[in-house]
Amino acid sequence: MQESINIPRGNILGVGVSAINMPQALGAIEGWIAQRTPRYVCVTPAHAVMACYDDPGLRPIYNQSGLTTPDGMVIVWLLKLLGFSHVDRVYGPDLMLEVCERLITKGCKHYFYGGAPGVANRLAEVLLKKYPGLKIVGIESPPFRELCDTENEEMINRIRSAGPDIVWVGIGSPRQEKWMSQHIDDLGVPVLIGVGAAFDFLSGNKPQAPHWVQRSGMEWFYRLLSEPRRLWKRYLLNYPRFVVLVVTQLLGLKKYSL
């Protein structure tokens, strides 16, 4: 698997984030489906960059992706600061909606892999109502643990038999990125897209921040207030560290290789 051609990346703490906007992301995904070239997409907010910083084994997964999209506004602002003026946010839930709308006339086949029991089914219902005629060829909510060898083989066979063009993966980060990297060559699917909480947001299982909150860069605070017990470590521990580390990189005090 190779990186997307002609899409530059900005180096943020050693993570190569694709300098793109939504139209460019949609064009790349449509091209991969036409070429039948297996690629995976990592949507990347600041806490994902910090996960790569803390786990050197995770960083190559993001850097070898087809796209590592700027999911958070802080990432967008940093890329602009690095000289990529055209960049805009490519947010998981928005990407799912845009892809479904753009590719419905192409007969694109979708497979949903993730979410708690029932969430992926509700997601499918929402999308079918919004986009009548959307082709959904599989819905699966795997257990929240590693699959045994037999379960893994059965899962691969189910997805291969369904023949999707895109598998939407919503099993949480960094588990979903590791899963996509592990299975990209096994499934016979052109595109795997890890969209994390998009399953919950678009299905209505969890509240999504208003658009103005998202664009202000304060979505993390909205999510912290909605799920403090689960997310306090992610935001209150990682984000201050992220700011300090990025400042040291921008000042040239520390350099990171991709």
Choose between 20 and 238: higher pLDDT.
Answer: 20
User: Measuring CA to CA, which residue among 94, 104, 78 is closest to residue 15?
Assistant: 78
What are the tens digits of pLDDT across the range 29-55?
A: 999 999 998 999 999 999 999 999 999
Interacting residues of 196 by C-beta distance below 8 A, sequence separation 6+: 43, 92, 170, 172, 173, 176
User: Measuring CA to CA, which residue among 10, 33, 30, 35 is closest to residue 20?
Assistant: 10
Q: What is the pLDDT of residue 255?
A: 93
Average pLDDT rounded to a whole number, residues 196-204:
89
Architecture field, domain 9-203 = 3-Layer(aba) Sandwich (3.40)
Predicted confidence (pLDDT) at residue 178 exceeds the cutoff of 50? yes
Average pLDDT rounded to a whole number, residues 186-206:
92
Q: How far apart are CA 68 and CA 17, in angstroms?
A: 5
Residue 60, preceding bond cis, omega within 30 degrees? no
User: Measuring CA to CA, which residue among 169, 160, 164, 224 is closest to residue 32?
Assistant: 164
Predicted confidence (pLDDT) at residue 238 exceeds the cutoff of 90? no
Domain-by-domain residue ranges, the chain?
9-203
Q: What is the pLDDT of residue 112?
A: 98
What are the tens digits of pLDDT across the range 140-159?
A: 999 888 899 999 999 999 99
Q: How far apart are CA 45 and CA 94, in angstroms?
A: 14
Name the pTM for this structure: 0.90
Predicted confidence (pLDDT) at residue 64 exceeds the cutoff of 80? yes
What are the tens digits of pLDDT across the range 103-127?
A: 999 999 999 999 999 999 999 999 9
Q: What is the pLDDT of residue 2?
A: 41
If pLDDT is split at 50, 70 and 90, which confidence band does 100 have?
very high
Q: What is the pLDDT of residue 219?
A: 74
Q: What is the pLDDT of residue 17?
A: 98
Mean pLDDT of the chain: 91
Phi, psi of 39 (to 5 degrees): -140, 155
If pLDDT is split at 50, 70 and 90, which confidence band does 5 have?
low
Least confident of 5-9, 11-15, 85-89, 146-150: 5-9
If pLDDT is split at 50, 70 and 90, which confidence band does 196 have?
confident
Helix (H, G, I), strand (E, B) or coil at 76: helix
**Rg, the chain, Cα only:** 18
